[in-house]
Amino acid sequence: MRYPVVIHKDPESAYGVTVPDLPGCFSAGDTMDDALSEVVEAIECHVEGLLVDGEPIPAPQPIEQHQANPDYADGVWAFVNVDIGKLSGKTRRVNVTLPERILTLMDKYAAEHGATRSGLIAEAALEYLASRENAA
């Protein structure tokens, strides 16, 4: 999943990173690169906890939806990619039949975004389920 994050830096502090779509998920780092790496791990842990608890995974929203929030004023926005296909520990092999053209598009997209086919399918399924949960 591709999550928008907001980064803040106060004088004499580390870079703080907040994930608006995952309330309570935040991280920090001494450099911008460290902060962005650390927030990926924070998102993975947060999502893992939601999966273990049987909670829905909130779908990432566009940055524009969060920018009006005063908590994020003066922050720098970025995106981080999280491969949720590797989360929740145990995996199970399933046989899925899809049209070849769709598989080609999926593989191309996954390769361009540093993901895997399995991760992309898991991400798509979770985003779909989250959208249905929000619609209910």
The domains found in the chain, sorted by start residue, are: 2-135 (3.30.160.250)
pLDDT at residue 88 is higher than 70: no
- For 4, counting Cβ atoms within 10 Å of its Cβ (0-12 exposed, 13-18 middle, 19+ buried), the class is buried
pLDDT at residue 85 is higher than 80: no
Give residue 83's pLDDT band: very low, low, confident or very high (50, 70, 90): confident
pLDDT at residue 133 is higher than 90: no
pLDDT at 57: 83
pLDDT at residue 39 is higher than 80: yes
Q: Return d(Cα 95, Cα 82) in angstroms, integer.
A: 24
Q: Which of 25, 49, 52 is nearest to 39 (CA)?
A: 25
pLDDT at 135: 65
Cα dist from 102 to 31, 99, 123, whole Å = 39, 5, 16
Q: How many CB atoms lie within 10 A of CB 28?
A: 18
pLDDT at residue 53 is higher than 90: no
pLDDT at residue 95 is higher than 70: yes
pLDDT at 136: 62
pLDDT at residue 116 is higher than 80: yes
Its pTM stands at: 0.70
Q: How many CB atoms lie within 10 A of CB 21?
A: 18
**Strands 2-9 and 76-81: what pairing?**
antiparallel
Q: Return d(Cα 16, Cα 27) in angstroms, integer.
A: 6
